[in-house]
Amino acid sequence: MSKTLFILGLYMAGLVLAFQRPAFGQDEYEFDLSEIGKEIEKKPYDIGGFFEFRSVLFGLDRDSAFHTLKFFDQDEGATLEQYNFGLRLEGGYQKGIASLYFMTDSRLWYDYEGWDGDIDLMEGYLSLKPGPSFALDAGKEVVLWGKGYAFNPVAFVSRPKDPDDPTEALEGYYVILADLIKSFKGPLKTFAFTPVILPVTESINDDFGKLDHINFAAKLYFLLWDTDLDFLFFTGESRTTRYGFDFARNIKTNFEIHGELAWITNFDQKSIDSQGNLSTEDSDILRFLFGIRYLTTNEMTVIVEYYHNGGGIDEDDAENFFEFVDRAYDTFLDTGDSSQLSKAFRLSQGTLAAVKPMRDYLYFRASWKEPFDILYFTPAVASIVNLTDQSLSITPELLYSPKTNLDLRLRGAFLAGGRNTEYGEKRNDYKIELRVRYFF
Amino acid sequence: MIKLLSMILMGLYLAGPAYSDDGNEMLQKVDRNLNPDSFETYRKLINIEPDGSKKEFIMFTVKKGRDQVASVFLSPASEKGRATLRLGDNMWLYIPNVGKPIRITSLQSVTGGIFNNADIMRLDYNAEYNCEKMEQKEGLMVLHLKAKSRSVAYDSLKMWVDNKKLLPNTIECRASSGMLIKTLYFKKVQDFGGGILRPAVVETDSPLHKGYKSIMIFARMKKRDLPDEAFTLNFLPRVESLR
C-alpha cells in the first residue's frame, strides 16, 4: 500500500514540478484584435465535454461491518484497485427563443469484478426563453435548490449530493419547470417564482418515490436587503409534503453565512432493533443546516457547515445494526447460513448506506488558491465529522491545472472511528484517487 | 455666541472628509468614456506567467447602470458556461452542473492571476469612489480616489487621467495600509463605434506577484439596454442566451 501511495504521490509531485516552470524573463505579449473577433463568433450549436481517467486505490478495513457484508465469503486482500475511464459529452442548439441542451456520462471501469460500464443521460431538456423575465423548460434537468455547500436539505426535487465530492454533476429528474423573474428598485431587488411539475411513473423518475403520481414543487426567491431568501415547498403522492426556507448573505466582503431549514411531514422515521428488525414511525421531522464561508487575506477559503438530519437513525439504531451484522457473520461462520447477512445487507440499503444517514454532522473544508505563486494550483483539505458517534473522514486534495483544459486532482480519504461508528464500520480505511480530466 | 458657533461649524467642516467636486465630475466623465451606461462587450483575459506561458479566457459581459454586471465564460472548454453576477456589493458565481449560484467575494478571482472579481466585474469608478483631491502632474491629471465604503475591494486609487481624452492612463490600487496591491495600465485606445473611444487593453501587474502579468482585451463593446431581470440569480445560468 505504502508503495502505491508513494508512487501516486511522486507522480503528482512530478506533474506539478514538470509544469511549474521557474521564473525567467517575460516577453511582451502580442495579440490580434481581428483574431479575437473570430474567437467570439456565435454558433447556433455547441458541443464539448471532457475525457477522464481516474484510478482509485481502496485500503480495506477487514474488520468492519460493511466489509463483512460485501466480502463475507471471499478474500480480496487488504487493498483493491479500480480504473475508471469516462467521457462527458454536453451540447446544445439554439434557434430563436428555443434551445436544446443535453449532457451524457459514459463510464467504463475495471476492478476486482472485471470490466463494466454504463451510459447515463444526466440532463436533456428543451428550453423556451422569450425574454429574461420568463423561461419554460421541459425534460430531464437538475433542479438544485438550497444554499449549502455539502448538504442541501431543501433540495426537494433533486438527487442528494455526495458530501465527499459536492461539486460533481448530478443526474436530473424529468420535470416541467417555469421561471418567472421580476426586478424592483428599493430593498427588494428581485423576486422570482419557480414552479416545478415532476411526474413519477414506471418509465420516468421511478426512483423518486411512489409510482403513478404527479408531484408539484415551487420556490419563491427574494433578494431583500442584500440577502438571498428562498421559500420552498413540495407536495404530491410520491413523497410526503415538505416545506423549506433558506438564506445566504455576505456579512462582510470576505465572510458569507447561509442556512437551510426543511420541515418534512409524515416522514417514515426508521429504527432498528437488536434482532435487525426495521420499524418505521410516522412523524414530522426537521432537517437544517447552518454554514459560513470565509476568505482569508492570503486567499484561503474556509467553509464550515453544521447539518442536522432529523430523519436520520440514532446511535442506538446504528449500534443495533452493527451488532446484528457481527452476529449474522458468526452464524455464517458456524453454519454457512448467509440469510441473516443478506437481511443485514438489505437493511443497510435503506438506512446506513444512505448519504450521511445519522443525525448530526459537521463539515469543514479549507482550500488555498495558488499558494507560493503556483498559478492554477489549489491544495485543500475537507473533513466530515459524525457528531453523534465522533467518527470522521479527512480528505486532503491537490488540484492543479497545468495547461488550459487539463485538470489533475490527487486526493485521499482517510476514515477514523471506533467500533460501531459510521466511519469506523465503513468498508475502507482509506482511499487514494488520481483523476485526470481533459476538456474539449 | 454666533462667532463661536461659526468657528465650531467651520472646524467641523474642515475635520470632515474632503471631496473634490471637480474631481468627481471628471471621474464621472472618465466612467462614461470607458463605457456607456449600459452595454455589452466581449473580453479576452490573458494570464501570463514569469516564463511567458499563458492561459486565456473569453467572456461575454453585460452591464446596466451603476451596479449591475453579468458575465459568462465562453472559453476555455474547462470554464465554459461559468457565469458571474454582481449587484452592487453582492457577487455570485454559477458553475454549470454544480447547480445553484454561490456567493463569492470581490477579492477572490474566478480566473486566477492578478485580476480579481472586483476587476473582472468592475462597477463605475464613481459608484465606489469619491475623489478627494486632484492635481496636475507631467501633463496628466491625477485623481486621488477614496473608497465610499469598506466593502470596496481597494481602499484607495490613484488615477492618472489624460486631460484631453478624459481616459485613464494608469491606476494604482492600494489597501487601507497604503500598500500597493496592483497597477492597471490602459493601452491601445480604439474606436469601437457608436461614439465609444476607449483603451482596448488593460494590463495589470502586482508587487505581490512579481513577474506575473494579466491582460484584459475588450472587443465589440456596444450600447445595449437590458431589463433588470437579466441581472438576477435565476437568469444567471442563461446569460449566454443574451449573445
pLDDT band at B164 (very low <50, low <70, confident <90, very high): confident
Of A145-154, A326-335, B3-12, which range is least confident? B3-12
pTM of the predicted structure, to 2 decimals: 0.83
Residues 55-94 of B with CB under 8 A from A: 55-56, 58, 60, 74-78, 80, 87-90
Nearest residue in B to A19, CA atom? B53
DSSP bridge pairs for B189: B199
pLDDT band at A25 (very low <50, low <70, confident <90, very high): very low
* Mean pLDDT, rounded, for B197-212: 89
The closest of B39, B43, B38 to B65, measured between CA atoms, is B38
Residues 2-41 of B with CB under 8 A from A: none
Residue A66: pLDDT over 70? yes
Give percent of chain A with pLDDT exceeding 70: 91
Strand B213-223 versus strand B39-48 pairing type: antiparallel
Residues 148-167 of A with CB under 8 A from B: 149, 158, 167
Residues A305 and A352: beta-carbon distance below 8 Å:
no
Of A266-280, A302-316, B8-22, B178-192, which range is least confident? B8-22
CATH number of the A47-439 domain: 2.40.160.10
Nearest residue in A to B101, CA atom? A147
Sequence-distant (≥ 6) Cβ neighbours of residue B118 within 8 angstroms: B106, B107, B152, B153, B154
* Mean pLDDT, rounded, for A75-93: 93
pLDDT band at A352 (very low <50, low <70, confident <90, very high): low
* Mean pLDDT, rounded, for A332-361: 82
pLDDT at A14: 53
Cβ-Cβ contacts under 8 Å, B151 against chain A? 252-253
- Cα(A237)–Cα(A209) distance, integer angstroms: 8
Residue A354: pLDDT over 80? no
Q: What's the half-sphere exposure (Cβ side, CA atoms, 13 Å) at B132?
A: 14
Cβ-Cβ contacts under 8 Å, B99 against chain A? 142, 144, 158, 170
pLDDT band at A3 (very low <50, low <70, confident <90, very high): very low
Of A250-254, A285-289, B12-16, B203-207, which range is least confident? B12-16
Nearest residue in B to A369, CA atom? B112
Cβ-Cβ contacts under 8 Å, B193 against chain A? none
Residue B165: pLDDT over 80? yes
ipTM of the complex: 0.75
B24-46 tens-digit pLDDT? 899 999 999 998 989 999 999 99
B111-126 tens-digit pLDDT? 777 888 888 888 889 9
A154-177 tens-digit pLDDT? 999 999 999 999 989 999 999 999
The closest of A232, A106, A129, A236 to A181, measured between CA atoms, is A129
Cβ-Cβ contacts under 8 Å, A297 against chain B? 107
B95-154 tens-digit pLDDT? 887 667 888 877 777 777 788 888 888 888 998 899 999 898 888 999 999 998 887 888
Domains, chain B, in order of start with CATH, read 19-242 (2.50.20.10)
pLDDT band at B3 (very low <50, low <70, confident <90, very high): low
pLDDT at A429: 94
Which letter, b or e, does each residue of A232-267 get, where b requires 16 or more Cβ atoms within 10 Å of its Cβ? bbbbbebbbbbbbbbbbbbeebbebbbbbbbbbeeb
Question: If 0-12 CB within 10 Å is exposed, 13-18 middle and 19+ buried, where does residue A44 land?
Answer: exposed
Q: Is A375 on the interface with B (CB under 8 A)?
A: yes
- Cα(B200)–Cα(B35) distance, integer angstroms: 11
pLDDT at A114: 94
pLDDT at B12: 44
pLDDT at B101: 82
For residue B229, give how far its alpha carbon lies from the nearest alpha carbon of chain A (Å).
5
Q: Is B234 on the interface with A (CB under 8 A)?
A: yes
Query: CA triplet A116, A119, A124: central angle to 5 degrees?
Result: 165
A100-159 tens-digit pLDDT? 999 999 999 999 999 999 999 999 999 999 988 999 999 999 998 999 999 999 999 999
Residue B170: pLDDT over 90? yes
pLDDT at B90: 83
DSSP bridge pairs for A244: A232, A262
